[in-house]
């Protein structure tokens, strides 16, 4: 989408510099879910159709179900035709996040970018999204940016960034076994979560 240009090096997509791709190609090939979800004024359906304007009700319902947003929509007074308000302000942050996620899935992009996509949802919803992740990411390039390391455990490759520099790379198992920076972060996070569960 080229919101930001690289200050050094290149971003290659299938071996080709992203700057050589048209905006139309980028917008149709890349889907993203941001940490702070954004919805447009209109109905839930209007927002979902931004992902794929000619989507059928069957496709919409499949995308909603895949990310557990179908339960959210079922609770709304007018279902898919519920007005979300200015910027989605009539919905909770978690509800907006799930609808934003469903919109990205509905678009069926070649590349899916999830930038802290579960940061705004409760742990129960996060678990549902995590369960859907294998299906959602299948057959496409998926890039997940996460501080909550449990969300990237199943990634083919994890790049560990510290102070803007990649300091480690590997699978979850490889990084745990190397007992480096990732291991320290993961262990600390796991201990914090375990403590939180005990205190809850």
The pLDDT tens digits for 71-95 are 999 999 999 999 999 989 999 888 8
Residues 45 and 123 in one domain: yes
Residues 27 and 108 in one domain: yes
- Judge whether 97 lies within some domain: yes
- Judge whether 142 lies within some domain: yes
Residues 134 and 176 in one domain: no
The domain total for the chain is 2
Residues 160 and 71 in one domain: no
What is the value of pTM for the model shown? Answer: 0.83
Residues 66 and 87 in one domain: yes
Q: Which helix (H) or strand (E) holds 49?
A: helix 44-49
Residues 140 and 84 in one domain: yes
Residues 151 and 161 in one domain: no
Residue 194: its pLDDT value, please? 57
Segments of the chain scoring below 50 in pLDDT: 196-200
Cα 138 versus chain centre, distance = 14
Residues 101 and 197 in one domain: no
Residue 200: its pLDDT value, please? 38
Residue 199: its pLDDT value, please? 41
Rounded distance between C-alpha atoms, residue 131 and residue 117, angstroms? 14
Residues 55 and 75 in one domain: yes
Which of 155, 173, 188 represents a domain boundary (last residue)? 155
> b or e along 157-185 (b: 16 or more beta carbons within 10 Å of the residue's beta carbon)?
ebebeeeeeeebebebeebeeeeeebeee
Residues 165 and 140 in one domain: no
- Judge whether 50 lies within some domain: yes
Residues 51 and 140 in one domain: yes
- Judge whether 3 lies within some domain: no
- Judge whether 1 lies within some domain: no
Residues 81 and 131 in one domain: yes
- Judge whether 169 lies within some domain: yes
Compute the radius of gyration of the chain from its Cα atoms.
Answer: 18
Domain with 128 in it = 12-155
Residue 2: its pLDDT value, please? 66
- Judge whether 69 lies within some domain: yes
Interstrand relation of 158-162 and 165-170 (parallel, antiparallel or unpaired): antiparallel
- Judge whether 2 lies within some domain: no
């Amino acid at each position: 989408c080229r919101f930001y240009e690289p200050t050094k090096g290149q971003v290659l997509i299938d071996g080709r510099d992203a700057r050589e791709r048209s905006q139309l190609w980028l917008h149709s090939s890349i889907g993203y879910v941001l940490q702070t979800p954004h919805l447009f004024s209109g109905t839930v359906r209007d927002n979902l159709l931004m992902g794929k304007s000619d989507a059928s009700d069957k496709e919409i319902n499949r995308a909603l179900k895949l990310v557990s947003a179908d339960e959210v929509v079922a609770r709304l007074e007018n279902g898919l035709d519920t007005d979300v308000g200015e910027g989605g302000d009539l919905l909770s942050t978690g509800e907006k996040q799930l609808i934003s996620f469903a919109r990205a899935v509905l678009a069926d992009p070649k590349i899916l970018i999830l930038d802290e996509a579960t940061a705004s949802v409760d742990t129960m919803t996060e678990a549902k999204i995590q369960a859907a992740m294998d299906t959602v990411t299948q057959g496409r390039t998926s890039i997940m940016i996460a501080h909550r390391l449990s969300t990237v455990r199943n990634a083919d490759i994890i790049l560990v960034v510290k102070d803007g520099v990649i300091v480690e790379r590997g699978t979850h198992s490889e990084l745990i076994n190397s007992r480096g920076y990732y291991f320290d972060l993961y262990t600390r996070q796991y201990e914090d979560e375990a403590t939180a569960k005990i205190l809850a």
